[in-house]
Amino acid sequence: MQRRVASNLVWMLAERALQVGAGIGIVAMLARGLGPEGFAHFQYAQAVVYIAASIALICGGEVVIPRLVADPAPAAQHRLMAHAFVLRLAGGMLGYLLMCIFLLVTGQSSAFWIPALILGLAIVVREPFGIITAWTQAHTRNRPNTLFNLASLTAKTGLVAVLFATGTRSVPAYAAAFSVEPVIIAILLSSYYLARAPRARVSPEPALVRELFRDGMLFWASFMLMMASRRVDQLLLKPQVTLAEFGAYAAAMQILDNFIVVASILAAGLAPIYVYAQPALERARHNIAKIAAGMTAVGLAGGATIALCAPWIIHLLYGAAFAPAARVLQLTALASMLVFADVGLTLLPVYLRRPRLVAMKWGLAFVVTILIDVIAIPRLGVTGAILGYACANLLSVMFGILVWLRCRRPAGAGETACA
């Protein structure tokens, strides 16, 4: 069993590492192929889709996987999967509709809403069919999922490379290349699952749908607030600055998005053994403190290196047209080390199974980001958005430290107290 779990983890970490490497290459081709303004159009559309996609994350793995593990009967699992799929599909359709309404209300030009409509197809494809990933994880079968993701990523990379090599500067064309990835994943995942699932027809059970919706509400709220807080700065920044400035900010944040993925990779590799497997809360808290400190050191070293090499990194990846992004990257890279500390500290509420704490943290981060951006961006432009990013990260870390200090098991008590 330990060998199977270790192999499962290796496949997961290998997939994430390859995705980071491919993501950097894809963004570089995208920026060079589209230029600063075209890249700004694409990134704004992607930010809108990113936020709208969070609505489809209802009934996630946190709700489904424990139920699948608790009841291994194929018929019961298939029944659960069918209802979870319907919930996610409804969430995806709602997310796509709300995205369309946002684009209409804000009066976006065709340069923005056409790529958004194309990229938005992932909202109704990726997350609903992504529920099958929860099924593979419950059966500790990450290898097929990894291979499917790599196959779809290869297709996307190849299409983007072809567009770049042929000198294509059409934003919708690149958006279509991106949309191929979730479609391929959906086809491969559904084929794999249906080949192993029972053929019995599933009857609708409104009570089960309500139960899954209720149990996943806090996790759903957490995901929506997290994804919104990570992209709302771009929605607020775009109307206040030129497209070139917005493109420079988006270019820098794309690099940091790939950098901070390292934090989740480290947490995923360390947490199962050093946190989740610990029966004693005090030992788990001690290990979380060490993990958070170590991850902060990694974030500081990486952020400082990126800040020092920012002009070279921007020139290598994006070219001379994106030179203004170097200063943005320097400032945001230094603030990104806080993300590493936050990811490490978030292991405690996950260990305690307190999604309410995670939702509270992201709610505060979302509100702070909006408040600071609304005040600072009209006065400082891109620097105001960086200030909002840094303050939201700092608040998240402070919240995590407070939870770590106050959550403990009192002597002689049977429940964990956070007071």
How far is residue 155's CA from residue 177's CA, in Å, rounded to a whole number?
8
Same domain, 309 and 378: yes
Q: What does DSSP assign to residue 72?
A: -
Query: Per-10-residue mean pLDDT for the chain, 419 residues long?
Result: 57 72 88 91 93 88 81 87 92 94 90 92 90 84 82 93 93 95 94 87 87 86 89 92 91 90 82 80 91 94 94 91 92 92 92 86 93 94 94 95 81 50
- At residue 152, the pLDDT reads 92
Q: 295: buried, middle or exposed (CB in 10 Å: 19+, 13-18, 0-12)? A: buried
- At residue 6, the pLDDT reads 58
How far is residue 28's CA from residue 402's CA, in Å, rounded to a whole number?
39
Which of these three, 215, 231, 257, is where a domain ends?
215
How far is residue 344's CA from residue 267's CA, in Å, rounded to a whole number?
7
Cα–Cα–Cα angle for 47, 50, 52, nearest 5°?
110
Residue 148 inside a domain? The answer is yes
- At residue 102, the pLDDT reads 93
Same domain, 183 and 251: no
Same domain, 385 and 258: yes
Same domain, 210 and 253: no
Residue matched to tokens 């700092």 = 394
- Give the contacts of 343 (CB within 8 A, at least 6 positions apart): 260, 263, 264, 266, 267, 295
Q: What does DSSP assign to residue 284?
A: H
- At residue 414, the pLDDT reads 47
Taking 3-state DSSP, the helix, strand and coil percentages for the chain, each rounded to the nearest 5, stand at 85, 0, 15
Which of these three, 215, 230, 249, is where a domain ends?
215
- Give the contacts of 378 (CB within 8 A, at least 6 positions apart): 240, 384
Rounded to 10°, the helix 310-317/2-53 angle is 80
Same domain, 209 and 290: no
- At residue 390, the pLDDT reads 94
Q: Are 292 and 345 in contact (CB under 8 A)?
A: yes
Residue 233 inside a domain? The answer is no
Same domain, 255 and 335: yes
Tokens representing residue 13 in the block: 């970490």
- At residue 410, the pLDDT reads 46
- At residue 7, the pLDDT reads 60
Q: What does DSSP assign to residue 57?
A: G
Residue 347 inside a domain? The answer is yes
Residue 228 inside a domain? The answer is no
CA distances 337 to 33, 47, 98, 236, 322, Å, are: 30, 22, 33, 24, 24
Single-letter code of the amino acid located at 15: E
Single-letter code of the amino acid located at 108: Q
Q: Are 382 and 237 in contact (CB under 8 A)?
A: yes
Same domain, 309 and 255: yes
Same domain, 279 and 183: no
What's the domain range around 300? Answer: 241-419
Same domain, 116 and 247: no
Tokens representing residue 248 in the block: 């420079």
Same domain, 159 and 196: yes
How far is residue 380's CA from residue 236's CA, in Å, rounded to a whole number?
13
Comparing C-alpha atoms, which of 271, 270, 274, 237 is closest to residue 253?
A: 237
In angstroms and rounded to an integer, the radius of gyration of the C-alpha atoms of the chain is 22
313 strand-pairing partners: none
| Structural domains in the chain (count) | 2
Q: What is the pTM of this model?
A: 0.85
Residue 236 inside a domain? The answer is no
161 strand-pairing partners: none
Phi, psi of 265 (to 5 degrees): -65, -45
Q: Are 167 and 109 in contact (CB under 8 A)?
A: no
How far is residue 353's CA from residue 218's CA, in Å, rounded to a whole number?
11
Residue 223 inside a domain? The answer is no
Which of these three, 215, 230, 250, is where a domain ends?
215
3-state SS class at 417: strand
Q: Are 348 and 404 in contact (CB under 8 A)?
A: yes
Same domain, 69 and 158: yes
Residue 227 inside a domain? The answer is no
Residue 178 inside a domain? The answer is yes
Same domain, 210 and 245: no
- At residue 417, the pLDDT reads 56
